[in-house]
Amino acid sequence: MDYLKIEGKNRLKGSVTIDGAKNAALPLIAATILSKRSVTIDNLPPVNDIFTMLKLLENLGAEYRFKDNKATIDTTSINNTTAKYDIVRKMRASILTLGPLLARFGTCEVSLPGGCAIGQRPIDLHLKALEMMGAKIEIKQGYVIAKAPNGLKGATIVFDKITVTGTENIVMAAALADGESRIINAAKEPEVVQLCEVLNDAGIKIEGIGSDELLIRGSDRELLDIKDFTVIPDRIEAGTYLCAGAITNSCITLKKVNHAHLVSIILKLQEMGYDFEIEKEQITIKPASRIKAFRISTTEYPGFPTDMQAQFMALSLIAKGTSTIEERLFENRFMHVSELNRMGANITLNNHIATIDGEAKLYGADVMATDLRASSALVLAALIADGVTKVHRIYHLDRGYVKLEEKLQKLGAKIERMRE
């Protein structure tokens, strides 16, 4: 098993290129199930979750080629509608095949999903919405068994709470449904927006893209002419490297970014004292003369993203004063706290609120990653710790970051991948 060995106390400089967004790519790969032709997707990040989703489609009978961050996917040959546990257990996003498989074939079986252990993320909202569209659903032996032999029907769906994957699943299902579907309280994340734009370009009329209410006119099971497209930049990867520049108080430049997707992150960093140069597809973060403590409450887009909470917790360790972070979305997303405390941090928890003392003196230690974003928080803390830190169980990290250690090396970090 691999681990990262990091020697702290090195300033960074230079530039880093941001890869495509994993969380945009996964539903877009699933959406190719709706296509009547092969689709080429560019700017796919070569991370484990992407390969898992491609393998899942291959197990269903699809064919694909992947080279140079580009995949050509042909789902016209799908002859199996069972997404098996062996693959689905590795990645929660596998549930995104449920909507398109059911809409296209009228029947499917999808194993209940796995993924990071950051808390309960039930799919009941997905299932309730599909039932409102006419599906018959039962849970049996760990599988969602869904049937709609006469196809799905347009319906008005009101999500009790905002759900990104739920919105994506139902958007894809509604694309092939008979009639109009209205999704109220839809997620507004850039990843949802791109999915809607791709389907819109394929001939499905979608109104309200980017808002919390979507109106989708389905094709009544006619497959779509999905055009080739390029995945948007990964706003979470970009935010993580901004935090790398911030925590080392360095000047670094991010290339191939969409700064409109990073507003809440940039504003919080500016509040802390950092300056920026923002160009068309490029952001440069500049050192702060004084780094201020902050308060964060995670919430849905366009608010502060839960996927950046762990990285900002690491960053708070160098701030002057006491910072607080309220995690509103996932109950188990503070598992990195104990590992940061092992390095010398002073972080206390009170239910879903973390209080962090700034200006911490950190020391290198053996620490263990517990989920994808926690992994990056430990790497960030290691960049400023005295001595050597070893971050173990980095298979979590590999699910979402492309060659993180190589990108940090190019910026000047002393980091290398080792084998246990």
Kindly report the backbone phi and psi dihedral angles of residue 310, in degrees, each rounded to the nearest multiple of 5, phi listed first: -65, -40
Question: What average pLDDT is seen over the chain?
Answer: 94
Query: What does the block give as tokens for 140?
Result: 């049996």
Q: Which pTM does this prediction carry? A: 0.94
The secondary structure of 127-176 as a DSSP string is HHHHHHTT-EEEEETTEEEEE-TT--B--EEE-SS--HHHHHHHHHHHHT
CA distance 315 to 143: 41
Q: pLDDT (tens digit, 9 = 90+) per residue, 14-48?
A: 999 999 999 999 999 999 999 999 999 999 999 98
Residues belonging to the active site: 116
The secondary structure of 163-212 as a DSSP string is -HHHHHHHHHHHHTSBSEEEEES----HHHHHHHHHHHHTT--EESTTSS
Q: Could you tell me if residue 220 is left (phi over 0), alpha (psi between -120 and 50 degrees) or otherwise beta? A: left
Q: pLDDT (tens digit, 9 = 90+) per residue, 308-351?
A: 999 999 999 999 999 999 988 766 668 889 999 999 999 999 98
Q: pLDDT (tens digit, 9 = 90+) per residue, 52-110?
A: 999 999 999 999 999 999 999 999 999 999 998 888 877 878 899 999 999 999 999 99
In what helix (H) or strand (E) does residue 82 lie, and over which residues does it extend?
A: strand 82-83
Total H helices, total E strands in the chain: 14, 24
CA distance 209 to 215: 9
Kindly report the backbone phi and psi dihedral angles of residue 284, in degrees, each rounded to the nearest multiple of 5, phi listed first: -115, 125
